Amino acid sequence: MAVVGTGRWWGFQHARVFSGRPDVELVAIVGRRASPTQARATAFGARPYIDLEEMLARERPDLVALCLPNEQHHDATRTVIRSGTPLLAEKPLVFSLEEADALLDEAARRGLFFAIDFNHRWAQPVQLATAAIRAGRLGRLSFATWRFGGEGTSLHPYANLIETQCHGFDLLEHLVGPIGSVMAEMTSDGEPGTLVHPTVSVALRFENGAVGSLVGSYETSYSYPDAQRLEVNGAAGRLVIHDTVRRFEFHPTGSELGEVWEAGYFNDLDREFHRTLDRHVDAVLGALRAGAEPPIHARSGRRALQLALSTIQSFETGERVRLVGDPVGAVP
């Protein structure tokens, strides 16, 4: 397989994961500049490329992982799809529904394996939360709250919402069900070329009748405890996830005694956020080898983008926006 991107965060993590697996040969690293691409490829025993099409033609990889800057996903993703190569894309998918639909249509016409890395789903607390909800331990769900924020920089006015809170939209729907409508408020610093709307608060209504909230920000810090917090409440109990991988709590209704999961002394795998990628890759490769659909199809990236764009529409119009299928329509 090959990795496209030499970033110090997720480009590095994808190279680490795939180069460290005994069942995978990492053949290539693709970057934009020769020096950092050569350095990354050397570090992980792969061949360096500056030209993506050249790499695809020469190496003919079985899978390509795309780990590029958030607003530069479309062209490289389209190139990989048109080569007929299965791919795992980092989030966000893209920043427009038109581009998302074009990519998904091209991949579908080729019957292509097209995964997206919503890695939060593979954190152990999220796995425990999923199991608890599926087993009915929370009963009828009544509300869910998501909060996630840290430092961020981008020239896109809604970057925090599209590139970071996509995790929130994805997990809320994964755990609670489809979101039926959104209403939004945002902070505005009014300075072009900066974080124009760095903090967002969204009121949610789920199609099953539950309500919820999403608060996201680039005006806070990932250093704070509970930089990320997710709570789901039901008629029979409540669960809370702290910092995605740090802690899971469950309390039955009316009980002062609950259950807590935290990684044990030797359990470095489950306490490290980056290792959620390792677990996701396990599932991706299993599905690819079996000829099955990806564990998280790129359609989920399109859905998170649709929710983000509906939130933007709500903020800009001051109206609640109902999501009915794909059309996005305002509701007074």
Portion of the chain with pLDDT greater than 70, in percent:
96
CA distance 199 to 149: 9
Helices vs. strands in the chain: H and E counts, helices first: 11, 16
Contacts of 5 (CB under 8 A, 6+ apart): 11, 14, 30, 31, 65, 66, 67, 68, 90
Q: Greater confidence, 163 or 72? A: 163
Find, among 57, 119, 112, the residue nearest to 288 by Cα.
Answer: 112
Span 120-271+302-322: which CATH code? 3.30.360.10
Quick one: CA dihedral 308, 153, 281, 112, positive or negative?
A: positive
Average pLDDT of the segment spanning 55-62: 98
The domain segmentation of the chain, as residue ranges, is 2-112, 120-271+302-322
Q: Which CATH number fits domain 2-112: 3.40.50.11740, 3.40.50.720, 3.30.70.2660, 3.40.109.10?
A: 3.40.50.720
**What value does the mean pLDDT take over residues 72-76?**
93
| Mean pLDDT to the nearest integer, 273-285 | 97
Res 86 pLDDT > 80: yes
Res 182 pLDDT > 70: yes
For 114-132, the three-class secondary structure string (H helix, E strand, C coil) is: EEEECHHHHCHHHHHHHHH
pLDDT score recorded for residue 331: 36
Q: Which residues pair with 140 in a beta bridge?
A: none
Q: What is the pLDDT of residue 43?
A: 96
Beta pairing, strands 259-261 & 141-149 = unpaired
Of the candidates 34, 26, 38, the one whose C-alpha atom is nearest the C-alpha of residue 65 is 26
pLDDT in tens, 287-325: 999 999 999 999 999 999 999 999 999 999 999 999 965
Assess whether the region 2-112 and the region 120-271+302-322 belong to the same CATH fold: no
Residue 156 has pLDDT above 90, yes or no: no
The stretches of the chain forming alpha helices (DSSP H) are 10-19, 34-43, 52-59, 74-82, 97-109, 124-134, 159, 166-176, 268-271, 275-290, 299-317
**Confidence at residue 332, expressed as pLDDT on a 0 to 100 scale:** 32
User: Mind listing the pLDDT tens digit for each residue in 10-42?
Assistant: 999 999 999 999 999 999 999 999 999 999 999
Query: Which pLDDT band, with edges at 50, 70 and 90, does 152 fall under?
Result: confident
The per-residue pLDDT for 172 is 98
- Predicted TM-score (pTM) of the model is 0.94
Two tokens, residue 105: 């249509």
pLDDT of residue 196: 84
In one letter, which amino acid is 52?
Answer: L
Q: What is the pLDDT of residue 7?
A: 86
Q: What integer pLDDT is reported at residue 165 of this predicted model? A: 97
**DSSP code, position 151:** B
Peptide bond into 157 cis (omega under 30): no
Q: Is the pLDDT confidence value at 194 over 90?
A: no
